[in-house]
Amino acid sequence: MLSNVKIREMSIRDHEALLSLLESTPGVTIREADSLAATERYLARNPGLSFVAVHEDEIVGCVMCDHDGRRGYLQHLVVAPGFRRQSIGRRLWVRCLDELEKLGIQKTHIDVLVENDSANQYWTKAGWVRRDDICRYSFIRSENKNV
């Protein structure tokens, strides 16, 4: 593991670098919900739950985290290709789970696109359980289907 990769709380000042990282990552879908304004609302509503991995002032990983008071939710766990297989992703999501546990939240979910084979393999190997007993439904109240 690179000892000089530090994990710190995500800030709205990281937004531009985060978008670049997300856009360069296969399997990640960028939506209107990833805009600067939406990200700012997200971080304000969920303080201390989202994190970035930084190497020499460059963001090389991120994870966003929130909760509904009962369950935690992870989004956009991404590690730049040159920094993978160094436990950076695990350090990021474990930090989220630790912070959620401080809030009394013991169960956390992450949604992964069915066709994102590498992410599905990652979460399975990490000990997360794929759910086949529920279906997720979404309702979009916008003509823009990319919200």
User: Is this model's pTM higher than 0.85 or not?
Assistant: yes
Whether 18 and 62 have beta carbons less than 8 Å apart is answered as: yes
Query: By three-state DSSP, how is residue 88 classified?
Result: helix
User: d(Cα 10, Cα 67) in Å, to the nearest integer?
Assistant: 16
The structural domains of the chain, with segments of one domain joined by +, span 5-125
Q: In whole angstroms, how far apart are CA 110 and each of 2, 22, 51, 71? A: 26, 16, 16, 11
The pLDDT of residue 95 is 98
| Fold assignment, 5-125 | Aminopeptidase (3.40.630)
45: enclosing H helix or E strand: helix 36-45
pLDDT in tens, 25-79: 887 889 989 999 999 999 999 999 999 999 999 999 999 999 999 999 999 999 9
E-assigned strands of 1-138? 5-9, 51-55, 58-67, 72-79, 108-110
